């Protein structure tokens, strides 16, 4: 049995602290579209106009509906572990008076993650959604702009989400942790 160079080479996984130091030192420009996943810096797909519009629409809908019951976080980091800090398109966070000024939110602070996928569907489905499940984020909505569908991933575990379904009633969609917040997402399409 032969061993490939890939099996022999040791990879250096960046920590979140190293990642932040690189940004502060200017190695990662402030406007770079990257996120840290399992110690690797991942280039994020460019944001097209349809993706940007969907994020803006969702932001307006979420803000209008949740009021002060949650913080709407738009393309901001969530600290999942010492080597992982993704930047979901949107997240609903538990309210905090300091708006997470002292530290990025952690999985336990997240009520809902929403990923908007135009050209990133495979990455979101195969990398990010399982990552959120492993870290205990209980619910993710995947807005698929290619097929005009919203997939719901609920009850995250280390093995993945126990329940996956397609949203059928876009006029009355509620997160598990905010059942009183009823979103009308029909206008997305």
Instruction: List the pLDDT tens digit at each of the 189 positions of the chain.
Output: 566 666 677 888 999 999 999 999 999 987 889 999 999 999 998 899 999 999 999 999 999 999 999 999 999 999 999 999 999 999 999 999 999 999 999 999 999 999 999 989 999 999 999 999 999 999 999 999 999 999 999 999 999 999 999 999 999 999 999 999 999 999 888
Place of tokens 């992982």: 84
Do the domain assignments include residue 31?
no
At residue 114, the 3 state secondary structure works out as strand
Does residue 110 form part of some domain?
A: yes
* pLDDT computed for residue 31 by the predictor: 83
**Number of structural domains the chain divides into:** 1
In a domain, 38, yes or no: no
Q: Is residue 39 part of a domain?
A: no
Residue 28 lies in a domain: no
- With a CB cutoff of 8 Å and minimum separation 6, the contacts of 129 are 115, 140, 142, 153, 161
Q: Is residue 25 part of a domain?
A: no
User: Which CATH number covers residue 137?
Assistant: 3.90.1570.10
In a domain, 10, yes or no: no
d(CA 106, CA 108): 5
Residue 177 covered by a domain: yes
Beta strand residue intervals within the chain, DSSP E: 34-37, 40-43, 71-74, 90-93, 110-117, 139-144, 149-157, 160-166
Residue-wise pLDDT for 61-105, tens only, equals: 999 999 999 999 999 999 999 999 999 999 999 999 999 999 999
pLDDT of residue 1: 52
Asked if residue 153 lies in contact with residue 131, where contact means CB atoms within 8 angstroms, the answer is no
SS3 5: helix
Q: What does the pLDDT read at residue 36? A: 96
Question: What pLDDT score does 30 carry?
Answer: 79
CA distance 116 to 53: 10
Q: Hey, CA dihedral for 164, 162, 72, 120, is it positive or negative?
A: negative
Instruction: Give me the domain span that covers residue 123.
Output: 47-188
């Amino acid at each position: 049995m032969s061993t490939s160079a890939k099996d022999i080479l040791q990879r250096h996984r960046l920590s979140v602290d190293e990642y932040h130091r690189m940004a502060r030192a200017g190695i990662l420009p402030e406007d770079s579209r990257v996120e840290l996943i399992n110690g690797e810096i991942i280039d994020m797909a460019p944001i097209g106009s349809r993706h940007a519009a969907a994020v803006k629409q969702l932001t307006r809908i979420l803000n209008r509906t949740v009021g002060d019951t949650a913080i709407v976080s738009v393309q901001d980091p969530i600290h999942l572990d010492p080597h992982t800090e993704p930047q979901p398109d949107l997240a609903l966070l538990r309210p905090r008076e300091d708006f997470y000024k002292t530290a990025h939110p952690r999985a336990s602070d997240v009520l809902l993650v929403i990923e908007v996928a135009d050209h990133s569907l495979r990455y979101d489905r195969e990398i990010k959604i399982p990552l959120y499940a492993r870290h205990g984020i209980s619910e993710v909505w995947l807005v698929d702009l290619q097929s005009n569908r919203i997939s719901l991933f609920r009850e995250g575990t280390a093995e993945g989400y126990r329940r996956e379904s397609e949203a059928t009633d876009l006029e009355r969609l509620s997160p598990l942790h905010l059942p009183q917040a009823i979103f009308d997402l029909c206008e997305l399409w």
